[in-house]
């Protein structure tokens, strides 16, 4: 897929490209059941060894597909692309939509959040082309995981990427954000929770080990001190703020992208299950 737009061309100019290389056994006979994936500019830099059915999706193809889909949608956006790891075998792109924003209201305050999507691609089989949807809390730069499975995109490396599917997925994600997620967040903001209730829940989760205890303990310490990582002193008095206590710790202290995504999803699942329990 060509990346003809100037903004797109500049975005992909530093990204590494991959190619297929022939592999040989110790006797220098060709290996027919496997092939190598290597850096186009340096065959000695091998990213992966794969089966014959594997097809490379170039980083620039994923990025240009996202750009094309976004341009057709016509929404204002910003995109940040970073290489993950030392060799550039994987990239992570974050797209934020500043105009798809809503206020979560509680206690006379307005807490703006906007739609955000995260995209990944790799040459080393750590991920296929993956798109996930969440929200970005502007007041404290938290990443919030939506946790709605039907608003995600996953494409295995067995065929080329189709920007029309990317566009459709973004449209679905935007609809889910507007129609379901915002309603859920506002409901959480209306649900009163005391610090004592939050502390008891954190103690239970530490015992259940649903994520690394040090992060839950960090949240417990912030709660006991009545403060946050990015906002200073904070009066924790509703479910929305409790949710953000956890997502703030995940966003700002967990180092790796995959672990942040996994923990963000786990936190969302816990809060969604709390909601279902209250509704029964």
**Chain segment 208-218, per-residue pLDDT in tens:** 998 999 999 99
The DSSP annotation for the chain comes to ----SHHHHHHHTTS--EEEE--B-TTSPBPSS-EEEEETTEEEEEEEEE-TT-----HHHHHHHHHHHHHHHT---EEEEEEESSSS-EEEEEEEEEEEEEEEEETTEEEEEEEEEEEEEESSSS--EEEEEEEEETTTTEEEE---GGG-EEE-TTS---HHHHHHHHHHHHHHIIIIIHHHHHHHHHSB--HHHHHHHHHHHHHHTSS-HHHHHHHHHHHHHTEETTTEE----BHHHHHHHHHHHHHHH--SHHHHHHHHHHHHHHHHHHHHHHH-
- Cβ(236)–Cβ(223) below 8 Å: yes
Distance, CA of 198 to chain centre:
26
What does the pLDDT read at residue 279? 58
pLDDT tier at 37, thresholds 50, 70, 90: very high
> Which one has a higher pLDDT value, 36 or 2?
36
2-23, pLDDT tens digit by residue? 565 677 788 788 899 999 999 9
What does the pLDDT read at residue 146? 64
What does the pLDDT read at residue 9? 80
At 197, give phi and psi (nearest 5°). -65, -40
What does the pLDDT read at residue 161? 77
Q: Give the pTM.
A: 0.86
- Going by C-alpha positions, the residue among 156, 136, 160 that lies closest to residue 146 is 136
128-159, pLDDT tens digit by residue? 899 988 889 988 887 787 666 557 888 888 76
What does the pLDDT read at residue 278? 61
Distance CA 142, CA 228 (A): 11
């Amino acid at each position: 897929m060509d990346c003809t737009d100037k903004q797109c061309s500049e975005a992909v100019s530093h990204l590494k490209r991959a190619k297929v290389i022939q592999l040989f056994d110790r006797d220098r006979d060709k290996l027919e059941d496997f092939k190598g994936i290597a850096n186009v500019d340096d065959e000695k830099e091998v990213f992966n060894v794969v089966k014959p059915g594997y097809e490379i999706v170039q980083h620039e193809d994923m990025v240009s597909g996202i750009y094309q889909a976004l341009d057709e949608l016509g929404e204002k956006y910003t995109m940040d692309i970073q290489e993950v790891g030392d060799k550039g075998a994987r990239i992570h792109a974050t797209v934020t939509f500043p105009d798809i924003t809503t206020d979560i209201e509680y206690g006379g305050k307005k807490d703006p959040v906007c739609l955000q999507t995260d995209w990944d691609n790799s040459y080393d089989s750590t991920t296929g082309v993956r798109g996930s949807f969440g929200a970005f809390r502007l007041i404290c730069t938290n990443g919030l995981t939506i946790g709605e499975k039907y608003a995600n995109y996953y494409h295995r490396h067995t065929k080329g990427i189709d920007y029309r599917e990317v566009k459709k997925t973004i449209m679905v994600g935007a609809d889910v954000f507007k129609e379901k997620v915002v309603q859920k967040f506002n409901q959480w903001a209306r649900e009163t929770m005391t610090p004592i209730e939050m502390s008891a829940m954190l103690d239970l989760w530490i015992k259940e080990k649903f994520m690394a205890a040090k992060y839950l303990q960090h949240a417990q310490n912030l709660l006991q001190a009545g403060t946050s990582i990015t906002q200073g002193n904070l009066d924790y008095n509703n479910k929305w703020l409790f949710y953000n206590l956890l997502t703030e710790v995940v966003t700002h202290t967990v180092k790796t992208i995959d672990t942040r995504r996994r923990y963000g999803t786990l936190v969302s699942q816990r809060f969604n299950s709390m909601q279902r329990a209250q509704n029964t």
